[in-house]
Structure 1
């Protein structure tokens, strides 16, 4: 009787555990979406592709909607709000070391959490001072030398910085 119960219980337990395995995670295929001509900024409502500079987008844990932003600055302004921070599943920004400032290529989207940023540059974004993202610290430093600004890691981008307090 004990062997019969074990023979039934073990496969059931294994099936239950396999449903929680990382291999079946829905997050595996997360990637940035292309920006369409009529996409509007989630923060300000402006047409995203009409303006120069790095754009951003994010994926939410509790929604299939993909908020897109006319600037990486607007994306951070949304993402850093306490009520939004825990909802974010993934964030993407244009790598400005590999794409054109005037018309960023959507194939240049990178993970925002691993990017390096230049803030305070003379290169302007659509919504005030740009938060220019780069995939490498060296590319960010080269940009800062050419256009001014400070090189910052992802963790150093704060609401206080964006509001001009830093």
Structure 2
């Protein structure tokens, strides 16, 4: 049943199913069924959208935990996470979203420092690049986001203020440095 959202297309369904199978084959450790916690990436963790290895690229990574699935979908870029989450075809119940706090993680080789994506501060339109080019920096603290924006440009926003037109996967609004 699709509720108020449009049904997912066959192609997107097959791509998501294939990505889910790839992630399961990667041997990611699952949570113990207790409190929802982020899963750390390793050298073999692949992006749910394109199979890129997350550890090979700079910038904040993301993960979405879905109801009924032990393993999250990983994304090599926050733009990808937002695009999937904000997509009107999204029909799976989301249990949690996590991003890396770039106020603490090394931009060029981020490891750890996972935070709840919905409570984070974001910098949209900066000059810093992620795996797919322009990306959205994620921060636990507003002061870190403002400092980053002062140094690299961009606009500081909350999770709820990020809109679908800001996360077009072909680059769209992210290439607009006027923000």
TM-score normalised by L of structure 2: 0.73
Which of the pair has more CA radius of gyration?
Answer: 1
The gaps in structure 2 that reach 5 residues or longer are 1-31, 174-178
Change (3 A) 1:82 1:113: same
Give structure 1 regions of 4+ aligned residues with deviation exceeding 6 angstroms: none
Is structure 2 residue 114 aligned with structure 1 residue 134?
no
Alignment-derived partner of residue 53 in structure 1: 59
Residue 63 of structure 1, aligned match among 53, 59, 69: 69
Rounded Cα–Cα distance in structure 2 between residues aligned with 1:96 and 1:65: 23
Q: 2:41, 2:111 within 8 Å by CA — same for their partners in 1?
A: no
How many equivalent pairs are there? 140
| Deviation by residue 1:92-134 (Cα, 9 ceiling, x = unmatched) | 000000111011121x000000000001101111112111000
Following superposition, the deviation at residue 84 of structure 1 comes to: 2.4
TM-score normalised by L of structure 1: 0.78
Following superposition, the deviation at residue 58 of structure 1 comes to: 1.3
Rounded Cα–Cα distance in structure 1 between residues aligned with 2:40 and 2:47: 14
The gaps in structure 1 that reach 5 residues or longer are 1-25
Q: 1:32, 1:57 within 8 Å by CA — same for their partners in 2?
A: yes
Is structure 2 residue 165 aligned with structure 1 residue 160?
yes
Alignment-derived partner of residue 10 in structure 1: none
Alignment-derived partner of residue 102 in structure 1: 108
Q: 1:43, 1:78 within 8 Å by CA — same for their partners in 2?
A: no
